[in-house]
Amino acid sequence: MLQKCEGIVVRTSDYGESDKIVTIFSREFGKFAVMARGAKKANSRLSSISQLFTYAHFLFRKGTGMGSLQQGDLVASQRGIKEDLFKSAYATYMVELLDKAVEDRKSNPFLFELLAQSLSYLNDGYDEEVICLIFEMKLLPVYGVQPVLDRCAHCGETEGHFSFSIRENGLLCHRCWSNDHYALKITPQTVRLLKLFYYLDLNRLGSVSLQEQTKKELRLVIRTYYDEYVGVFLKSKSFLDQLDRMRTVLHGDDSEQQNKTQT
């Protein structure tokens, strides 16, 4: 039985000398794997559409077990991502994070749009770290966790100076700091961006330019929160951490740069 779908390749693995197992995250059917026979051959018609991050309309044959990929019409090859080490590393982490979050064969059009738009921004030259941070925030509810970002998680106050408490699962105002001496001290700009990244419609994202220090604070909050509440350990994360350290050395201190976000 032949079926069509609109999808993005989120995982590939070699199978034998010439075949590949391709995992597609689709709008219609959610995540599923298909066999792409001969895809490792340079002259294969499946070679270009079976690469990681590829966005296409796929035609596949559904069977009792794993289906087989028949053909595809390319929507976006994401060449800009594949040719850039940093963008490729961030995109790999993002698709792996999504892959771990979703079950097979469960359709989620919102998540599909989130992934498609995020990869499109990366491919178009947006700051890959900012896009990844937004992606991480928006994936939290999929993992079943929701930090308190619109008020103090302890007393409910909406005004004041805030830190971020892992223990209290969200923002902690200055009146309640004594409840968590290990709360992460962050600037008002970082507080605003955590809220923005969590609630923002990604299609409305304009230009974004952040200080390195602000990115560092966002990374600290989001990654620490993931470690505590999500607990997924990904190979791509280790490589990403190495790149983050490399980037910090290359950028140095740019604290005088303005934080700019437009939506």
Q: What average pLDDT does the segment 115-119 reach?
A: 98
Q: For the packed helices 128-139 and 85-101, what is the interaxial angle rounded to 10 degrees?
A: 10
HSE, side-chain direction, 13 A CA sphere, residue 148:
20
Q: What average pLDDT does the segment 138-145 reach?
A: 97
Amino acid sitting at position 55: Y
| Whether residue 233 has pLDDT greater than 70 | yes
Q: What is the pLDDT of residue 122?
A: 97
Q: What is the pLDDT of residue 214?
A: 95
Q: What average pLDDT does the segment 121-140 reach?
A: 96
The one-character DSSP state at 159 is S
| Whether residue 121 has pLDDT greater than 90 | yes
Q: What average pLDDT does the segment 94-117 reach?
A: 96
Give dist(CA 137, CA 132) in Å, integer: 9
Q: What is the pLDDT of residues 182-207, one digit of tens each?
A: 999 999 999 999 999 999 999 889 88
φ/ψ region of 154 (left if φ > 0, alpha if ψ in -120 to 50, else beta) reads alpha
Q: What average pLDDT does the segment 240-263 reach?
A: 65
Q: H helices within 57-124, ranges in order?
A: 79-82, 85-101, 109-123
Q: What is the pLDDT of residue 244?
A: 76
Q: What is the pLDDT of residue 53?
A: 97
- Structural domains of the chain, with CATH: 2-77 (2.40.50.140), 133-261 (1.20.1440)
| Whether residue 258 has pLDDT greater than 70 | no
- Write down the mean pLDDT value for the chain: 92
CB 239 within 8 A of CB 180: no
* pTM of the shown model: 0.92
CB-count burial class (<10 Å; 0-12, 13-18, 19+) for 207: exposed
| Whether residue 96 has pLDDT greater than 50 | yes
Q: What is the pLDDT of residue 64?
A: 77
More confident position, 254 or 245: 245
Q: What average pLDDT does the segment 67-72 reach?
A: 96
Q: What is the pLDDT of residues 28-42, one digit of tens each?
A: 999 999 999 999 998
Least confident piece of the model among 25-29, 111-115, 211-215: 211-215
More confident position, 220 or 242: 220
| pLDDT level of residue 259 (50, 70, 90 thresholds) | low
Q: What is the pLDDT of residue 251?
A: 61
